[in-house]
């Protein structure tokens, strides 16, 4: 092929000018792409900057409700209780609350300049110049976190004395951007309200100086056996050095470390021209042979004045209320209780508390042979008032100790069933008083090929087929309860307890079938007792309270600490509450699981609870005046001896029998829409005279009566005016019953422990 022929297949020949044009096009494309990138970057940066600015500005108004003048209060607080005949309108002084803690306020004009200068030099050298925040130190702290520049930890932290005071009084010290920004604005706002001297004085009076000492006066008393106003330069530096780490620089525990830190303080004071050369040298020489008084840390309370368990619980509740009211730390709240001159109007029923105290120390209830068996009790009325508390058995010997009624979290056994299963199911219309439920094991309950749960009355074969709700509760049959729970779903049952009954200890891992009969992480006696109130007051849940209200030293009711008009949550309908009350009343009758707790001559409702291997035994119940919960078991869970399993019911009956002995007879107020009717034990339907061989009396919402029984297990149309379901039997399970795979799962109990197994009739009595 000729060259000219080949050329016809080649591209056009590019002239030199064309090459330049192509290069420019590529350059323009690159420039356009780069500019686009810059534009996107600018837009993103603007959005981020705007978001950060909006976030910061939203916190600009952050302040903290701190009254620095009240920090110097040193007034005794008092607890008042109801007067004669439990009359809340005539309160009487019951007990004083005071402390022998190492906390003594000293006014700023009595604190020597050396003490003030030492703290400023080592903690915040620009304290007198900044407006609450030292921006150079804040930037330095930020660069240290980013490992920019010096990061050996030798520099100062970013917090000023003002910021540290806020942290000490609020207890907020979490590491987060939000807290830090809030703290900055709070410091700025605090310095607008108070002078530098007021802030410094407050700081020097509240900071922890080790050995239980709060403030410089307490520290001087403890370490040098003198007032701070009499301390010299070296002694002030020794005290100032403690603040960075009150344990590591405690002069009684680590004198050499304190000396090293003391000399660092003196060096800072010298560098900042706060002391002369001669003062520095003299103080350094003194530090080499400094002697400390070495007084022992004093107890927080006078142990000769031991509170009862109610006051113990009251103290904790007031502490929590003050923390919320003043957005303050636990330490500051406790300081207010001991020194703030508060008036606390306790809701305690002194008579019931005395009866409970006697019962929990009485050898008739807890014989000498039960030396290690523990117990707790929590009682309240039906509008939230806590009547009595027992945090342990035996004589109380200390204050502010572990409370088994409010602190311990234990599995509740079958006492869980009315709250997680039967109550919500009645409320939802899934069951009525005599509905049939299937008392048969669920496949794979304990794992593949292992059905369950077991019932208390035999090992593997004691199941009873289709039985009424009344029978299932009377005898506390687990298999029947789980059949119903599978239909209801754990999600519905546990969400009800969380959202309507304020249970705070339920975990996400509890959402399985085992939780319905008590197989969950744990609940408190306080929570369980409060949950049961809905069965005696028309379905209302009131948060339990131990005080009516609290006033400050000036007699003003502290915001948020007034329970006299406490609101309630309508947890279930009034008619459902009445039906549940009647079902739980049947539990107390002869031959049923709660009969040993029955107080003769009174309306009682209740439910037992026993966990696997008899590690926990519960009884929770009520009468028209009060309800109470009792737990018994061991501090380290182990099997309760069979003869001791009835102790919970015995303690409940003992307390309630004495409490009711002086009460005027009264009865529960039931919903007028609930009526009694005879039902057929075989079908659970309304009985027809001459048709049903075995019958019982049930209680039903008159607007939703069961159908009439025909005697062959079918039903006929009920009387006119009734809105009856076509069947009284509960459906067993369906794909629509469970809202999630987690909610409908059986759940696997821990190895060797089948959670929530209730043994019903324990000991010699049912």
- Which residue has better confidence, 261 or 9? 261
Provide the 8-state DSSP code for 420. Answer: I
47 and 192 together in one domain:
no
Number of domains in the chain: 3
Q: Which CATH number goes with the domain that contains 197?
A: 1.10.3810.10
Does 129 score more than 60 pLDDT? Answer: yes
Instruction: Name the residue among 364, 357, 295, 57 with its Cα closest to residue 184.
Output: 57
Residue 265 near residue 237, CB atoms below 8 Å: yes
Per DSSP, the residues of 423-463 read HHHHHTTS--TT-EEEESPBTTTTSTT--B---TTSSSS--
Alpha-carbon span 341 to 339, nearest angstrom: 6
Q: Which CATH number goes with the domain that contains 661?
A: 3.40.710.10
Identify the pLDDT of residue 651. Answer: 97
Question: Would 338 be classed as within a structural domain?
Answer: no
Beta bridge partners of 77: 97
Tokens of 148: 């920019």
130 and 212 together in one domain:
yes
Instruction: Name the residue among 186, 190, 209 with its Cα closest to residue 199.
Output: 190
How much is the average pLDDT of 529-548? 98
List b or e across 371-392, with b for residues whose CB sees 16 or more CB atoms inside 10 angstroms.
Answer: eebbbbbbbbbbebbbbbbbbb
Beta-strand pair 386-390/674-680: unpaired
Identify the pLDDT of residue 484. Answer: 98
Does 3 score more than 80 pLDDT? Answer: no
- Which residue has better confidence, 661 or 293? 661
Tokens of 142: 């930020």
Question: Would 63 be classed as within a structural domain?
Answer: no
Ordered alpha helix ranges (H), 152-232: 161-170, 177-193, 196-206, 216-224
Question: pLDDT averaged over the chain?
Answer: 84
Over residues 50-97, the pLDDT tens digits come to 554 554 454 454 455 567 877 777 777 899 999 999 999 999 999 988
Question: Would 661 be classed as within a structural domain?
Answer: yes
Alpha-carbon span 519 to 509, nearest angstrom: 11
Q: How many helices (H) and strands (E) does the chain have?
A: 23, 20
Q: Which of 266, 287, 308 represents a domain boundary (last residue)?
A: 287
28 and 177 together in one domain:
no
25 and 110 together in one domain:
no
Instruction: Name the residue among 203, 182, 194 with its Cα closest to residue 131.
Output: 194
Question: Would 76 be classed as within a structural domain?
Answer: no
Band of pLDDT at residue 667, cut at 50, 70 and 90: very high
Q: Which of 220, 252, 287 represents a domain boundary (last residue)?
A: 287
283 and 354 together in one domain:
no
Taking the CA atoms of 686, 689, 692 and 695 in sequence, report the sign of the dihedral they define. positive
Alpha-carbon span 445 to 460, nearest angstrom: 13
608 and 528 together in one domain:
yes
Residues with Cβ within 8 Å of 154's Cβ and at least 6 positions away in sequence, in order, are none
141 and 7 together in one domain:
no
Ordered alpha helix ranges (H), 59-176: 113-123, 135-145, 161-170
Question: Would 461 be classed as within a structural domain?
Answer: yes
Identify the pLDDT of residue 15. Answer: 56
Q: Which of 220, 253, 287 represents a domain boundary (last residue)?
A: 287
Identify the pLDDT of residue 4. Answer: 45
Domain that holds residue 49: 1-58
Tokens of 719: 């009387």
Residue 505 near residue 515, CB atoms below 8 Å: no
Provide the 8-state DSSP code for 683. Answer: T
Beta bridge partners of 621: 606, 628
Question: Would 331 be classed as within a structural domain?
Answer: no
434 and 351 together in one domain:
yes
Q: What is the pTM of this model?
A: 0.74
Neighbours of 587 (CB within 10 A): 25
Alpha-carbon span 120 to 247, nearest angstrom: 21
451 and 585 together in one domain:
yes
Over residues 396-406, the pLDDT tens digits come to 999 999 999 99
- Which residue has better confidence, 55 or 605? 605
Alpha-carbon span 215 to 200, nearest angstrom: 11
How close are the terminal C-alpha atoms of the chain, in Å?
Answer: 115
Does 281 score more than 90 pLDDT? Answer: yes
Residues with Cβ within 8 Å of 468's Cβ and at least 6 positions away in sequence, in order, are 433, 434, 435, 436, 437, 679, 681, 684, 696
Question: Cα 200–292–116 angle (5° rounding)?
Answer: 15
360 and 487 together in one domain:
yes
Beta-strand pair 77-83/343-346: parallel
Residue 160 near residue 187, CB atoms below 8 Å: yes
Identify the pLDDT of residue 739. Answer: 35
Identify the pLDDT of residue 209. Answer: 92
271 and 398 together in one domain:
no
Secondary structure of residue 750 in the 3-state scheme: coil
Query: Percent of the chain at pLDDT above 90?
Result: 64
Ordered alpha helix ranges (H), 550-637: 574-587
Alpha-carbon span 224 to 75, nearest angstrom: 26
Tokens of 592: 């049923």
Over residues 492-509, the pLDDT tens digits come to 999 999 999 999 999 999
Beta bridge partners of 380: 386, 627
49 and 118 together in one domain:
no
Question: Would 18 be classed as within a structural domain?
Answer: yes
Does 411 score more than 70 pLDDT? Answer: yes
How much is the average pLDDT of 300-310? 70
Question: Would 293 be classed as within a structural domain?
Answer: no
């Amino acid at each position: 092929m000729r060259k000219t022929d080949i050329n016809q297949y080649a591209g056009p020949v590019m002239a030199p000018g064309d090459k330049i044009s192509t290069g420019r096009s590529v350059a323009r494309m690159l420039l356009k792409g780069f500019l686009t990138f810059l534009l996107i970057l600018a837009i993103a940066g603007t959005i981020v900057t705007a978001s950060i600015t909006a976030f910061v500005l939203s916190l600009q108004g952050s302040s903290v409700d701190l009254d620095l003048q009240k920090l110097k209060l040193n007034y005794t607080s008092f607890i008042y209780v109801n007067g004669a005949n439990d009359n809340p309108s005539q309160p009487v002084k019951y007990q004083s609350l005071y402390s022998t803690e190492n906390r003594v306020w000293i006014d700023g004009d009595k604190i020597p300049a050396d003490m003030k200068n030492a703290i400023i030099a080592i903690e915040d050298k620009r304290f007198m110049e900044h407006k609450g925040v030292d921006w150079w130190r804040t930037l330095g702290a930020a660069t240290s976190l980013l490992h920019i520049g010096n990061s050996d930890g030798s520099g100062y932290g970013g917090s000023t004395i003002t910021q540290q005071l806020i942290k000490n009084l609020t207890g907020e010290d979490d590491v987060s951007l939000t807290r830090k920004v809030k703290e900055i604005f709070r410091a700025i706002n605090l310095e607008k309200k108070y002078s530098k001297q007021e802030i410094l004085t407050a700081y020097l009076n509240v900071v922890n100086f080790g050995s239980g000492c709060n403030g410089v006066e307490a520290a001087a008393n403890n370490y040098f056996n003198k007032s701070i106003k009499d301390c010299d330069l070296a002694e002030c530096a020794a005290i100032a050095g403690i603040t960075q780490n009150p344990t590591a620089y405690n002069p009684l525990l680590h004198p050499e470390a304190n000396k090293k830190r003391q000399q660092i303080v003196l060096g800072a004071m010298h560098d900042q021209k706060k002391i002369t050369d001669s003062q520095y040298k003299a103080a350094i020489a003194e530090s080499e042979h400094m002697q400390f008084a070495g007084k022992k840390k004093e107890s927080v309370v006078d142990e000769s004045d031991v509170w009862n368990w109610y006051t113990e619980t009251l103290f904790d509740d007031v502490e929590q209320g003050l923390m919320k009211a003043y957005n303050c730390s636990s330490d500051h709240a406790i300081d207010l209780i001991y020194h703030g001159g508060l008036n606390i109007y306790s809701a305690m029923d002194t008579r019931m508390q005395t009866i409970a105290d006697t019962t929990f120390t009485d050898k008739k209830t807890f014989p000498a042979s039960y030396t290690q068996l523990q117990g707790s009790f929590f009682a309240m009325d039906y509008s939230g008032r806590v009547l009595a508390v027992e945090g342990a058995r035996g004589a109380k010997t200390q204050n502010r100790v572990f409370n088994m009624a409010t602190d311990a979290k234990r599995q509740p056994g079958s006492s869980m069933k009315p709250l997680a299963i039967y109550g919500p199911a009645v409320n939802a219309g899934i069951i009525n008083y005599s509905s049939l439920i299937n008392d048969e094991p669920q496949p794979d309950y304990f794992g593949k090929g292992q059905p369950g749960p077991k019932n208390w009355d035999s090992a593997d074969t004691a199941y009873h087929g289709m039985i009424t709700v009344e029978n299932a509760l009377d005898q506390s049959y687990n298999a029947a309860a789980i059949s119903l729970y599978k239909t209801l779903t754990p999600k519905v049952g546990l969400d009800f307890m969380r959202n309507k009954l304020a249970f705070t200890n339920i975990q996400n891992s509890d959402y399985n079938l085992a939780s319905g009969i008590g197989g969950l992480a744990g609940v408190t006696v306080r929570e369980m007792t409060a949950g049961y109130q809905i069965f005696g007051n028309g379905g209302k849940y009131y948060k339990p309270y131990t005080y009516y209200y609290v006033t400050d030293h000036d007699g003003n009711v502290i915001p948020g600490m007034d329970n006299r008009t406490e609101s309630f949550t309508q947890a279930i309908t009034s008619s459902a509450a009445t039906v549940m009350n009647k079902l739980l009343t049947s539990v107390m009758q002869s031959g049923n699981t709660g009969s040993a707790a029955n107080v003769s001559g009174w309306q009682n409702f209740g439910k037992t609870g026993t966990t696997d291997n008899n590690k926990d035994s519960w009884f929770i119940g009520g009468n028209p005046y009060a309800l109470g919960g009792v737990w018994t078991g061991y501090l380290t869970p182990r099997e309760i001896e069979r003869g001791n399993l009835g102790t919970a019911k015995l303690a409940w009956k003992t307390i309630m029998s004495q409490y009711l002995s002086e009460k005027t007879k009264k009865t529960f107020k039931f919903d007028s829409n609930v009526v009694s009717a005879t039902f057929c034990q075989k079908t659970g339907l309304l009985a027809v005279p001459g048709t049903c061989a075995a019958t019982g009396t049930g209680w039903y919402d008159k607007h939703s009566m069961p159908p009439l029984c025909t005697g062959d297990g079918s039903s006929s149309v009920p009387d006119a005016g009734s809105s009856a379901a076509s069947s009284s039997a509960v459906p067993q399970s369906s794909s629509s019953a469970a809202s999630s795979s987690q909610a409908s799962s059986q759940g696997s109990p821990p190895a060797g422990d089948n959670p929530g197994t209730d043994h019903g009739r324990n000991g010699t009595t049912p």
